[in-house]
């Protein structure tokens, strides 16, 4: 009997291998499957042991750390400063070398006395100009500065600087004499100006406007090059030319004439019909097949029949010859071993064989609605009496009054009784039966009538 306890799958059979069934026995690791083996705890990877860490390249070449050989990786680092101590010889230290100017007045006076012996200190004293020994009058350069006075401020206000940089006045025209002088000395021709050399054409008796320079043939000939390239244009009668036969034979065998076959030196060809086709025909006799027959083939009825040995072994002694009555027999080992009488008592974890107590390919591709609870579709369509249906409804937590239950039961029993034989739709004591799927469909139909909406199915 299907109850709420069986729906929750608390009672399992020993030969079931559903994924919801926990393994039997006592385990020290909770749910220790393949998923836990490849998933790190708390999002952390396992730590490399200290004895192996010193050999890993990621640890030896870790950024910010000294590369140490694995043999000395665990040696303690000696305390104290590192490096080699150097003993400085007695003498001036760094402070005295960097310090270049004394602090006291006496030391500075002593330094000045020592520097006065140099000519550069006398001619170019520190903080004053170069002394050259010139004597300048007292009033010169004091009342009036040196140089020429230039009213830059006034010229700027008058925009004289802009006129100098961007002149607006046109330059003065040059006279012809100056222009010709620049042409002779610098070749200063204007853009597009013709270069004239001022020849005296009157003395030579030449008019440069109509005269043509160059040599002229005494006997001019028109279209000479054209006639030389195309001899047929010459109206004069051409005399016959006698050429060697060797040259003519070579020309006949090496030249390609349009519309004529090439001579290969095999002699004169026999007289052929105008529509003659050269080559070997693909079919000498019969009708030539078309493109459709070449693509699909033109096999006879006997050639299209399956082979006599189709599905049979070609090796003698290994053929499964059927006997009388075995025409529908299926040879081989079935995928689901329902033919085994004795099932193995202990299933190995490496045994992938299905013994009929596991879902088939159809259930795997299209699992039932309650496959996660281990309930198949057959249990939903199994016919049950009214008392069992009432118990399932109450255990499922569906609140239905007696009137609602009786109305849905009458509709479901009538539907299952009309589609199933009367013997199968009633119990041994003559009471009607119905399945749980038809009962809830009848309930949805009644609710749709109450809400005045179309039923969902």
In DSSP notation, 394-447 reads HHTT----HHHHHHHHHHHHHHHHHHS-TTTSB-TTS-B-B-HHHHHHHHHHHH
Nearest CA to 384 out of 328, 348, 431, 352 is that of 431
C-alpha–C-alpha distance, residues 364 and 397, integer Å: 30
Burial class (CB in 10 A: 0-12, 13-18, 19+), 379: middle
Start-end of H helices in 167-213: 176-186, 201-204
How is residue 254 written in tokens? 């090496």
Cβ neighbours of residue 189 closer than 8 Å, sequence gap 6 or more = 183, 195
Among 387, 400, 401, residue whose Cα is nearest residue 432: 387
Contact predicate 434/416, CB 8 Å? yes
Which residues lie across from 426 on neighbouring strands?
A: 432
Label residue 2 left, alpha or beta by phi (over 0 means left) and psi (-120 to 50 means alpha): beta
Backbone angles phi, psi at 440, to 5 degrees: -75, -30
Residue written as token pair 């007695």: 90
What is the C-alpha to C-alpha distance for residues 23 and 71, in angstroms, rounded to an integer? Answer: 48
Rg (CA), the chain: 61
Residue 432 φ/ψ, nearest 5 degrees: -70, 155
Q: Name the phi and psi angles at 37, rounded to 5.
A: -70, -30
Distance CA 155, CA 164 (A): 11
Alpha-carbon distances, residue 58 vs 48, 75, 76 (angstroms): 11, 19, 21
Instruction: With residue 455 as reference, give the H or E element that holds it.
Output: none
- Per-residue DSSP letters for 356-397? SSS--HHHHHS--TTGGGT--HHHHSS-B-HHHHHHHHHHTT
Q: Which tokens sit at 130?
A: 């170069």
The angle that helices 402-419 and 436-451 make with each other, rounded to 10 degrees, is 120
CA distance 343 to 17: 13
In the numeric block, the tokens 């004499």 are attached to 177
Instruction: Output the pLDDT for position 28.
Output: 60
H/E stretch holding 154: helix 152-157
Rounded-to-integer distance, Cα 108 and Cα 126, Å: 13
Measure the CA–CA gap between 323 and 331, rounded to whole angstroms.
Answer: 13
CB-based contacts of 225, cutoff 8 Å, min separation 6: none
Tens place of pLDDT per residue across the chain (457 aa): 444 443 444 444 445 555 556 666 666 655 566 776 677 666 567 778 888 888 888 877 778 888 888 888 888 887 777 777 777 677 667 777 777 788 889 988 998 899 888 988 888 887 777 777 777 776 666 666 777 777 777 777 777 777 778 877 777 788 889 988 998 899 889 888 888 888 888 888 888 888 888 887 777 777 778 878 887 777 777 788 888 988 888 888 888 888 887 877 777 777 778 888 888 877 667 777 778 888 888 788 888 888 877 777 777 766 666 677 777 877 788 888 888 767 778 888 888 888 887 877 887 888 888 888 878 888 888 999 999 999 999 998 888 889 999 999 999 998 887 544 444 455 556 688 899 999 999 999 999 888 888 877 6
User: Which residues, 6 or more positions from 239, have their beta carbon under 8 angstroms from its beta carbon?
Assistant: none
Q: Among candidates 445, 440, 425, which has minimal Cα distance to 392?
A: 440
pLDDT of residue 254: 86
């Amino acid at each position: 009997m299907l109850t709420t306890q069986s729906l929750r799958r608390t009672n399992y059979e020993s030969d079931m291998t559903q994924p919801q069934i926990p393994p039997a026995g006592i385990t020290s690791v909770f749910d220790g499957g393949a998923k836990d083996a490849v998933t790190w705890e708390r999002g952390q990877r396992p730590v490399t042991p200290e004895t192996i860490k010193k050999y890993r390249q990621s640890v030896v070449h870790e950024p910010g750390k000294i590369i140490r050989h694995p043999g000395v990786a665990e040696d303690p680092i000696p305390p104290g400063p590192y490096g080699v101590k150097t003993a400085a010889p007695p003498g001036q230290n760094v402070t005295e070398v960097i310090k270049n100017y004394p602090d006291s007045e006496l030391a500075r006076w002593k330094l000045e006395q020592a520097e006065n012996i140099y000519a550069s200190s006398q001619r170019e004293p520190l903080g004053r100009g170069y002394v050259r020994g010139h004597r300048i009058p007292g009033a010169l350069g004091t009342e009036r500065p040196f140089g020429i006075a230039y009213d830059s401020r006034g010229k700027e206000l008058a925009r004289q600087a802009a006129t100098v940089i961007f002149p607006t006045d046109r330059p003065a025209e040059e006279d012809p004499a100056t222009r010709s002088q620049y042409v002779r000395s610098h070749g200063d021709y204007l853009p597009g100006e013709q270069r004239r050399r001022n020849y005296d054409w009157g003395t030579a008796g030449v008019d440069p406007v109509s005269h043509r320079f160059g040599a002229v043939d005494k006997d001019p000939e028109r279209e000479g090059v054209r006639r030389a390239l195309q001899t047929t244009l010459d109206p004069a009668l051409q005399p016959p030319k006698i050429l060697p036969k060797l040259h003519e034979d070579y020309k006949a065998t090496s030249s390609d004439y349009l519309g004529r076959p090439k001579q290969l030196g095999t002699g004169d060809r026999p007289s052929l019909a105008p529509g003659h086709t050269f080559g070997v025909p693909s079919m000498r006799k019969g009708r030539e097949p078309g493109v459709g027959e070449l693509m699909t083939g033109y096999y006879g009825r006997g050639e299209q029949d399956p082979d006599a040995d189709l599905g049979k072994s070609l090796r003698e002694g290994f053929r499964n010859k059927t006997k009388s009555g075995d025409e529908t027999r299926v040879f081989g080992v079935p995928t689901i071993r329902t033919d085994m009488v004795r099932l193995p008592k202990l299933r190995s974890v490496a045994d992938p064989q299905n013994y009929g107590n596991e879902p088939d390919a159809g259930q795997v591709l299209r699992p039932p609605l309650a496959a996660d609870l281990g309930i198949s579709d057959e249990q939903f369509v199994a016919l049950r009496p009214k008392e069992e249906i009432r118990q399932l409804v109450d255990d499922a937590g569906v609140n239905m009054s007696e009137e609602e239950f009786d109305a849905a039961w009458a509709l479901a029993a009538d539907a299952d009784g009309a589609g199933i034989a009367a013997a199968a739709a009633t119990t041994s004591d003559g009471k009607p039966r119905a399945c749980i799927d038809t009962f809830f469909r009848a309930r949805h139909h009644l609710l749709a009538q109450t809400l005045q909406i179309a039923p969902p199915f």
